[in-house]
Amino acid sequence: MEGVDHLAYERNKANFDVDDMKIVWAGSRHAFDVSDRMARLVASDPAFRKDNRVMLSRKELFKNTLRKAAHAWKRIIELRLSEEEARKLRFFVDEPAFTDLHWGMFVPAIKGQGTEEQQQKWLPLAYKMQIIGCYAQTELGHGSNVQGLETTATFDPETDEFVIHSPTLTSSKWWPGGLGKVSTHAVVYARLITDGQEHGVHGFIVQLRSLDDHMPLPGITVGDIGMKFGSGAYNTMDNGVLRFDHVRIPRNQMLMRVMQVTREGKCVQSNVPRQLIYGTMVYVRQTIVSDASSALSRAVCIATRYSAVRRQFGSQEGGVETQVIDYKTQQSRLFPLLASAYAFRFVGEWLKWLYMDVTQRLQANDFSTLPEAHACTAGLKSLTTSATADAIEECRKLCGGHGYLSSSGLPELFAVYVPACTYEGDNVVLLLQVARFLMKTVSQLGSGKKPVGTTAYMARAEDLLQCHCSVQKAEDWLKPSVLLEVFEARAVRMCVARAQSLSKFPNPEEGFAELSADLVEAAIAHCQLIVVSKFIEKLQQDIPGKGVKQQLQNLCNIYALNLLHKHLGDFLSTGCITPKQSSLANDQLRSLYSQVRPNAIALVDAFNYTDHYLGSVLGRYDGNVYPKLYEEAWKDPLNDSIVPDGYHEYVRPLLKQQHRNARL
């Protein structure tokens, strides 16, 4: 059956142009071309094989990752790839490695927080990978509360050095990727102390290992923190532990773009505004939202293809059974996830624009949009990563028993993705930050200070608190203006209600702590509104290609109406809609599932993922699932021998035991 496309029948049903949708998904023709070229380059290179990952021991797995990272760098140099191409190549290699932190955190930290002089010294070394860096912020005792970090950097005016020290066990750096076994340098975050005075947490470039023999330098204790969740998955990364025993570094290795320490030990604020640091944070969180759409689309691609291959029940007089994808119970769980993948893709695209906008404003010393941009990226990071982690697990369940096999690709995808809910800001803590910003915005509504950006709708709070949804028939729910108003009304009403509850507390901080669970719900409502509104904005653009816009409209409506269905309590209790209108929304949702059904396979084909990148027997492009599952089973090391090791020691004596009557 090799070479037969078992899903051709499904692909022929599509009533839109898949190639045009591929361009929409990629963002542009150029982005598609780069992505397609790099995906094929990786898939065709046996050095990047990954199907045996879950069977390797930790040491073998880690060595294999080092080999792949070195091979990827070799290919980048040989082919003279651009930065964009190199980033895509690493993406398709699809294996967490020390390089992720080197390029994703170490380099941006120096760019964002280093002076011109420091950048000229350190960046050329980092770009050529003559030094390998990581980002050492999180400690054993503190993660989210950065101001609570315990590592100290004390200035010694006698020698013009900082003394980096770990005063307690809980001050050990714990978790930084690349730190455990590979990094030669780190940007270390520590409490700055000069002349007995504390000056907050700052970044310092510290060399950890010798560039000759890779041994830790004097005063440095460093190692890996041990196995993590799942097989393969994130165990390819050397998350590390690091302790300092009075390690001395030159004064000029403190990142001094925002604040300098002089030769005399005086702290001087530079003329560069402190807010610039937030620009880096917006950038990192924007990439996390884009990564969410990649991981989610991958899981959805596997589940959708397999749902079309798998048949169960419904056979009439010995005929073929029903495709699982034709069951409404499957559609109502799967299609909202498909819609979410596209929704997160477009909100990620918009965040790229926001990052550029914020950067330009910062350079012009305009900080007016910064608090809103900061809250917005924090909220979207939280919303998209939580939804994606849950969705990958849901996709595994949608694949039935076979989804539990490692060869389905879903267990490893889940295990490798789920830490995104914690790193770069714990998702609940981030929502509380968003809630704080929303409460401040509501409190300023009467002051004439206009809300900006994604909170601009709050300027219409008076109308939104009173408006009534105009839906009278199911199709009315397809009007973007109707959807938008309902989501805006829900967010405003929840925020205003929380603000009123808060005002009853004499101490606002006590009130915030007491009402934090309710405040998180208001933050979620606001963030879901952002995703819905950005999807709607995307559809107002000119989108070429036969039938492409119609499919995206269907997905946008599914995304919004499914959220309405899931959070019905919010919409009904705030009086945004009536029970009758919610029933009509449900009718419309069912109708939309029927419209997406013939296009489902083509909609996941538009992601343009190679079988190598998907890494799933169930999600194969050709749908040839069963022979490949059977083939895969025999590759397990347990099947290397017919009689298992341990049979003669443990099983045979059991089978051959002489039964004696025993009084138990």
Catalytic residue ranges:
424
| Distant-in-sequence contacts of 166-171, Cβ < 8 A, 24+ apart | 166/242, 166/243, 166/244, 166/245, 168/141, 169/140, 170/139, 170/140, 170/141, 170/142, 171/139, 171/140, 171/141, 171/243
**436 to each of 128, 175, 270, 371, 524, how far by Cα in Å?**
42, 28, 29, 11, 13
| Separation of alpha carbons 244 and 248, rounded Å | 10
- DSSP 8-state code for residue 209: B
Question: Are 377 and 530 contacting, i.e. CB atoms less than 8 angstroms apart?
Answer: no
Which neighbouring-strand residues pair with 224? 240
Which sign does the torsion angle of CA 454, 460, 461, 467 carry?
negative
Supply the DSSP symbol for 543. Answer: -
For residue 165, give the H/E element and its range: strand 161-165
H-state helical runs in 444-478 = 461-466
Q: b/e per residue, 71-102, with b = 16+ CB within 10 A?
A: ebeebbeeeebeeebbbbbbbbbbbbbbbbbb
Q: Cβ contacts of residue 476 below 8 Å, gap of 6+?
A: 470, 482, 584
What does the block give as tokens for 87? 């980033």
The β-bridge partners of 240 are 224
- 49/43 Cα distance (integer angstroms): 8
- Which secondary structure element, helix H or strand E, spans residue 494, and what is its range? helix 480-503
Please provide the DSSP assignment of 93-123 as one string.
Answer: H----HHHHIIIIIHHHHHHHS-HHHHHHHH
Interstrand relation of 240-244 and 220-224 (parallel, antiparallel or unpaired): antiparallel
How far apart are the C-alpha atoms of 148 and 33, rounded to whole Å?
46
Residues 375/433, Cβ–Cβ less than 8 Å: yes
Side chain identity at residue 659, one-letter code: H
CA distance 656 to 640: 25
CB atoms within 10 A of CB 162: 28
C-alpha angle with apex 301: 300 to 302, nearest 5 degrees?
A: 90
3-state secondary structure of 570: helix
Q: Tokens 């503190």, residue?
A: 142
Residue written as token pair 């070394």: 125
Query: Which ranges in 94-214 belong to alpha helices (H)?
Result: 98-101, 107-113, 116-127
The Cα 308–Cα 203 span in angstroms is 52
Sign, CA dihedral 548-550-552-554, equals negative
Nearest residue to 379 via CA among 437, 294, 335, 450: 437
What is the Cα–Cα distance from 182 to 441, expressed in whole angstroms? 45
Question: What SS3 class is residue 270?
Answer: coil
Residue located via tokens 């900006």: 452
Of 415, 65, 47, 55, the C-alpha closest to 236 is: 65
